Chain A
């Protein structure tokens, strides 16, 4: 069967992909004509072109992909004419290719309103990579930019202008609000406020009457008589389906454009199909990628003899506009009588949520989310599948207050609910994959393709995985990886019992196979927690995680950053000068960290020992910023200077930091000491934090900043310093012994049966009778501390490893390069 595809955009590519997958016996001969010089690329993420992505990064597949699947690809060669009588297409370059079936995926072009002056230099559209290149080169001489159109694409274009460094960017919208098709009045208002806070000027209810300027644009005038100065204009006022080819050969098109198709996506000629933005289905043009992909699937299925039709597509969308979540689903506006609306407009936290509900309060009809769209997936599924709402329907946007977890939500979905709308993967398909033995999200992505598009559904896929496994009674044994059939806690006890000191010895005695990137760092970490030996000896160097292996943090481009320890954040002027001198000598970028230290970036691997030699000679030591270890103990200035300070928080922070420095644990540990309840050191956001009281110190544990902030909980009150340290000793050792790999303390506590009360019993009341042992073990680690960088610098065998080339140790990696930025440098953006 000869299939010719006209158009190589995202939907045209998706069709090729679907056809290639079905082309098991070489029964299809596929020929593609594309107008642009490049193979199909990702237009959805076009603005990333200015954020550092290259044209190649945006490609969906390179020319080799088509060739290896036997697809003939003609690029830069648009089809000029279709002869339906002889079933042949004629291309610009003179090719004549016969077809059995023709698929039109010609897409759309930008709609350019007929405004006087629209032809002036400096007026652009925003559609292809070429458009972007033109915009990019013009932007260099531009101070003021304007986007006409405040819809989805217009705001994307505005982001692109900001990325190009045009600080003074305006958006002009004809309608009284932004994104009039997706968002309601109140939501648009919040969106506008947020965009204005980012520096965009927004002008709504503005009808552009003329574009001003001689040859090049200098401004716009509006119907209301006002004028806006600008050096460039990007027009993004909508799309126009590319139906000219169809029209010319007599295929039916709509009065306002678009190739008319039926539910089979056939045009008025049943050997010709149309898919994507050029197709007019039931009076509707779909300007989104997901319905286009669905159309590609429908046509591929039909050509393969399967029954499949297209009956419309949900236009729900979720996107991030310049960092702001915006989502709209179902019917966002609900005008029918009797529908109820719940609105949550949080001016303080900056989000707006609206849901429309049926009169009986049972079903969700649609809604709008601005500022926080984390509930989008669940709401969309609830809406699409007509799930019955909880008795207090406001819970669905307020979040359940006590009880009910989100997991119940996944369970209640029917099997045909689409979990991944990019790839149209249903809940049933995912469950089936799990039942046939897949046990990880990675594996599910690979076999079902769910989550490989925008990735927004991955949390649901994960919930679904856990839920299905649990429902099947499949026991998820908490083992480290395929090489060790033990949990970390079991392994810790066994390694101690057998007194094993190297990764190889542990693998020989307790594991199978050759190890991997999961068990190696876990075992290396617990060896360090148990014996506190130099981590790069006894062959343990190659078992360390990337950063530990070179005692530094690897950064973009393959250079490293260096963080000397600054206990409590206290540092002398002389030491500051040394850091400055070292940074200058080795051309390092310097930045103050969140933990009151100084980070030096951009060090070549071979410079690390030289840098550390100088730092150590000046009295510095490793800050373990690279390790799953104690990082910093932050402090406020405390009673030595502060008029509110109750105790000397700096001295106590230094004492704590020096006690636990180098302590390796299942994950990194951060701490802080505040001198009074004003809490300037933010101790309650740390793994353990200490706050001065009138009578002593309060000890808080298991807080967390990071992606899921959580306040630390009060473990004990009004402690003297010695008792406080004893409790911390016990607490830290208990964590090190029992936590799973890479589990921060907050998560560890959340999973602990009995929670903080149980933990308090263990640490304060010694309910397990382990307190003395825990303290003794900690004392052993404290006594055996040595600065590992000092040992590395002094050991020629270890130093030898700090070269990029084994056969040219004096040479640095020539692929490393930097860009200048604010009188310093930055890593070159990666591809």
Chain B
């Protein structure tokens, strides 16, 4: 266990070098939010209804703000691409020779990155959320904070394991990068990043909500919005856990299968 703690510490201090960069890029992330808020204001102003997909204007805006928080936990930039290049370029050898588990190593690395990112972007997020405080939901159900944090952490696990699976495809395919681009485009829609999935017509809604991607962004965000009752929250968290475990299991399995193929190349 100590070696993973070392990985964590080293990458934590590595990240500290770029803290200035972090603050700026975290703040930049919010620029499209302004456009989104204005677009929804325009949409609601012209509409004949005061609710869309069950959300009022104020809730719609905070949906997009809370999506930023969900993505803060669930997004895994460069993870899948990193794994597939490690496989392709033979960099994987380095890790196989060390008494360390590759996925476990990536996991610690990612936690360190995430924690550092959250610490450095805290100021930026605090500022934006303070400016938008009138839009934010008031939690009436005392269970929300507990479930919200749990579902965000599970969103992290789920995001991590999905991206591991994608990266490990590199054992079988040379060009994972183009596949990733297509995947990320669809993910933007399917996870509820683009707009709340409750807006979708019923026939489409049913399918999309079954996929694991909704559990990365849409569901945690809806919990944060206070749109779910206690039973629903429990159910969501359970399904998140199941998806995350299933994906991690799949990643493990692919890892073992893949290594058998990988050994054949050497070099």
A and B associate in one complex: no
| Interface residues, chain A, with chain B CB atoms under 8 Å away | none
Q: Could you tell me which B residues sit within 8 Å of A by CB distance? A: none
